[in-house]
Each structure stands twice: as C-alpha cells, then as structure tokens.
Amino acid sequence: MKLNNHLLYVLVILVFFTNCKKDLNLEKNEIEKSDSQLKIIRKRQDSLIDVHLKNGAWKYSYYSSEWQSEIDKGLAKDSTIAYMWQQKAMPLFKQGKYEIGMEYIDKAVKYDRQRWQDYRAFIKCIFAKTYREAIKDFEDCKKRFGYGYVMDHTYDFHIGLSYLQLNEFKKAEQIFKIDYEKQLSEHGEDWLHPVDLFYYGISKYEQGKYQEAIDLFDLALKIHTQFSDVQYYKALCLGKIGKIEEAKELMRIAENNGKLGFSFNEDNAVYERYPYQVRWN
C-alpha cells in the first residue's frame, strides 16, 4: 500500500511537470508567433490609417460627422489601433466634450501606453482640469518611462501646474524650482520657456514672495517681451511692494498688449483658457 501511494505521488509529479513544460512551450510559441507577425500587423494597421485617416477623416473638418464615421470604419476592422482612438478623441476635447473624449483616449492608452499616456495626462491637466487625476497619470508616466516632455513642457511642469491649481502653492513652487534648475543645468538659459517661468513666478506670487516672483517674470519677459499676462502679474507684484506708479504704467502696457493678442503662445490656447490667463475683453 505504501509502495502504491509512492508510485501515485511520482506519477502526479511527472504529470505536473509535463503539463508545465507544455505550457511553457505553448507560451514560447505564442511569443515567437507574436514577434514573427508584428511587422505584418503594423503594415496592416498602417494601411488602415492610410485609408481611414489620411484618405478618410483628414479630408473633413475635425468636428464633422464624417470625421467620426471614417474613423469608426477603421476601428470596425481593427479596434486595437491606438492612433485612431486618439484621433477620435481629439476633436471632442477641443469642443469641451471631455467625458466622452476621455473614454476614447483611455482606449488609445490601453493599446499604446507609451505613446499616449502622457497625452492623456496633458488633457486632464489643461482641458478636463481634473488635476489630481493628471498628477497620478504623470507620476505613473515618470515611473514607467522616466523624465519626459509632452506638448513642449516637462511632466514635472504639468505636475507643478496641477498643484498650483489645487492651491498647494508651496508644493508647486518646489516642483517648479527643481525642474527649473534641472533645465538650466542641462541646457542653459536659452532652453527656458516663458510659460514655465510664468507659473514658477505665480507660485511665489501666491505665497507673497513678490520680489522673487518679479525676478522670474523678468526672465519670462526677456524671452517673450510682450507677454501680457506676465506683465499683469508683475504689475500686481510691483503694487504690493509699493512701486505704485511703475505698477500703473506696466498695467497699462499689459492691457494694450493683451488686447493686441500677446498672450500665451501655446498651440492649445485657442481652445482652452490657461490657468491665470487674463481676460482683457
């Protein structure tokens, strides 16, 4: 009886390892099959992009029903094409239809996280204004892919801006400071962006550090000399430190530049009002 039990145990072990080996071989074959078919899949998806985007949706207005229907035709043939999901979402964000647009951009991230997650995080920060969600997405991007840029600004810039909009001014200042010093040390002053400097200055302005804010606003104005929003907040700071006449003159210049359209030069500023952007009309 003991011998039979022993034999049974051995048989169970042999069956277990045989099945494991089969599973490993199957997994290996699936991986090899996936690798061997990757070029074919990409070629097919590129062909669908040519048909349904280049020669389809892109021939119509962003906001037309034809744009959406052409993309839907492509997705009906292959629902895993991340770029098509992004193109389906993009016009909706520009129309302020954030909730439905987010459903589509989530699909883009699902099928190509490395390409589209930072874009989704940007949308949450600048368009949807769901700042805590934006911070989570950007922090996850940093963990997965490292220090990066989206829409001409670093992930940390957008994280700092999100904290600024959550009224966590000290935290925003710390993030802007680290990012500013990193860019300065790695690329020099010519690399600095006036919008980055503006928001770094705003984080100080909100904490009553008016002279420090002025210094940063001056750096921004060296790059974008007629940046009316920077001039406006610099004028406020000048007033706070008692330079009343200088503040009044700068405010007059800021208003004139603002009405002439010298404001944020971000590509998406035509669709969304940026944080702290001044309404002149």
Domain ranges in the chain? Answer: 193-281
Q: Which CATH superfamily is domain 193-281 in?
A: Tetratricopeptide repeat domain (1.25.40.10)
Q: 153 forms bridges with which residues in the sheet?
A: 150
- Give the number of other CB atoms < 10 A from CB of residue 276: 19
Q: How far apart are CA 19 and CA 71, in angstroms?
A: 44
β-pairing, 149-150 vs 153-154, is antiparallel
Report H helices in 55-168.
Answer: 65-77, 82-94, 98-111, 113-122, 131-145, 155-165
pLDDT at 10: 39
Q: If 0-12 CB within 10 Å is exposed, 13-18 middle and 19+ buried, where does residue 142 land?
A: middle
pLDDT at 15: 40
Instruction: List the chain pLDDT tens, one digit each, 281 residues.
Output: 444 544 444 344 444 444 444 443 433 433 444 666 778 888 899 999 999 999 999 999 999 999 999 999 999 999 999 999 999 999 999 999 999 999 999 999 999 999 999 999 999 999 999 999 999 999 999 999 999 999 999 999 999 999 999 999 999 999 999 999 999 999 999 899 999 999 999 999 999 999 999 999 999 999 999 999 999 999 999 999 999 999 999 999 999 999 999 999 999 999 999 999 999 88
Q: How far apart are CA 189 and CA 74, in angstroms?
A: 46
Contact 109, 121 (CB under 8 A): no
Beta-carbon contacts of 151 under 8 Å, excluding residues fewer than 6 positions away, are 122, 126, 266, 267, 268
Q: Describe the chain by its helix, strand, coil percentages, rounded to 5.
A: 80, 0, 20
Beta-carbon contacts of 94 under 8 Å, excluding residues fewer than 6 positions away, are 62, 63, 271
Is residue 153 classed as helix, strand or coil in its secondary structure?
A: strand
Q: How far apart are CA 219 and CA 158, in angstroms?
A: 20
Q: How far apart are CA 245 and CA 126, in angstroms?
A: 35
Q: How far apart are CA 181 and CA 172, in angstroms?
A: 14
Closest of 115, 116, 119, 104 to residue 72, by C-alpha:
104
Q: How far apart are CA 82 and CA 239, in angstroms?
A: 51
* Paired tokens of 53: 């985007």
pLDDT at 38: 75
